Amino acid sequence: MTLYEELKARGLVAQITDDEIIDVINNGKATFYIGFDCTADSLTAGHFMALTLMKRLQMAGNKPIALIGGGTTMIGDPSGRTDMRKMLTKEDIAHNAACFKKQMEKFIDFSDGKALMLNNADWLLNLNYVELLRDVGACFSVNNMLRAKCYEQRMEKGLSFLEFNYMIMQSYDFYYMFQHYGCNMQFGGDDQWSNMLGGTELIRRKLGKDAYAMTITLLTDSQGKKMGKTAGNAVWLDPNKTSPFEFYQYWRNVGDSDVMKCIRMLTFLPLEQIDEMSTWKDQRLNEAKEILAFELTKMVHGEEEATKAQNAARALFSGASGDAEHMPNTQLTEADLTDGSIGILTLMVKAGLAASNGEARRLVVQGGVLVDGEKVAECTACQLKVAKNKQTVNLCGQFMDDSKATSGSGTGSLTLYKVDSGFIRRQQGLQDGEDVRGTVISKLRDPDSYGAERVALYDVSFDDLTLADWQAAAVGSVTAPFTFSDYEYLDQIEVQ
């Protein structure tokens, strides 16, 4: 099997500019580059596809160029973005670039000229703007650029002229390295296709020569979402940002429908072995997930750390404690506790298991949270309705019967706090006189441990407000009995 055939069999090839690419990479004739904008001080699991592809191509005799985007990071890639990226200082970018190189060396052999690491700041930051416009600007059609997919989402909210130049900068990178380093091919994610075509076209128009581009399939889950994040946070390759155990657990917990795709695309296991594993079902899928997690953790953190992470995970979920020292832990202080206890949602956020109370709550509702092997029950709830043009509205409740509130069903009592409607307007940025009428859904648990976990008005959540905030804003309260259930909204209270 040739290299290109293997890439196709692993599902890595998305688009190519020319069939000549096949012969070039199969015969080790490619000097290729992949760009990495250094927007953080660590690479993430989202970079895995690019790093493993570079390793595969280098193993076949091709020469990689890892291009650090010290210059393009000054602009920010708008591809797939709905907002403008944060602008970093030159010092931040230089620090991030140094961190990237250290991590890349685990995948790519830079010894004896087998690979290069370049920084486009070396040529982009010294460009003269007028000369660039005259030399390169005439090669780009604004009409074609505006149709490019990489600008699509940003156009909806407004694309700055700064970001609009990103395609020209990336194209110039390819043009420059083609001339000075013999770089004849660019690889990148499929969302980079327009930018990559800009580079091949610039080389053709300016130099009259052919260059090639190939995009690789984006790593997405079965719902089409990009993989590489957990609880809303990136999965980092830096062990100080994501521990080897957490890294292992991320891949150990991929969905049943995603595990074989990840093994095929990311690991270096033989295709014959992967094809055999593809027939596994039920419990054997858990074995496949362990293999995936171990192989990727070994690649990033080394075999010793991968073994520790695997042993710790097995001990944790079997109830054993032999490898507890390798499990992540969170230190709680007296300040984190209320009357000697802490709510499960607060604890999950504190431990980094969820990015917010809302995210933690969704995990609870979906049955994904266990404490000492016992599944945490779904949050109980009641519905409240708010009348129009009332000076005070009932927006926050508190269970008064702790035992009933946590038992799953029964009869308890609920205190509703009357809150001045101006408080809601201020929280939501509404003007005086604007209607605050709407349905408010308040998801509550035991007040001593959980407080008012969520209040939503017109589908706008108040996750940042605690029970104490509502109590402080209250101008009165009323307590009423009601019946509740974990799974039904049984009680509705109309505010008149």
Q: What is the pLDDT of residue 436?
A: 41
Compute the average pLDDT of residues 358-382: 65
Pairing verdict, β 185-189 and 392-399: unpaired
Tokens of 297: 């953790």
What pLDDT is recorded for position 450? 31
Tens of pLDDT, residues 274-331 = 999 999 998 899 999 999 999 999 999 999 999 999 998 888 766 555 555 656 677 7
Tell me which residue of 131, 226, 144, 221 sits closest to 172, measured CA to CA. 131
**pLDDT at res. 461:** 38
Determine the average pLDDT of the residues in 421-430.
55
* pTM higher than the cut 0.95: no
Query: Higher-confidence residue: 159 or 124?
Result: 124
| Structure confidence at residue 202 as a pLDDT band (50, 70, 90) | very high
Question: E-strand spans in 184-237?
Answer: 185-189, 212-216, 229-230, 233-234
Query: Is pLDDT above 60 for 396?
Result: no
Greater confidence, 63 or 170?
Answer: 63
What percentage of the chain reaches a pLDDT higher than 90?
A: 34
Greatest CA span in the chain, whole angstroms?
82
Higher pLDDT: 55 or 149? It is 55
pLDDT in tens, 28-81: 999 999 999 888 889 988 888 899 999 999 999 999 999 988 887 776 544 444
Tell me which residue of 334, 65, 58 sits closest to 181, measured CA to CA: 65
Residue-level pLDDT at 332: 79
Indicate whether 142 pLDDT > 70: yes
pLDDT at 271 over 60: yes
* Confidence bin at 458 (pLDDT 50/70/90): very low
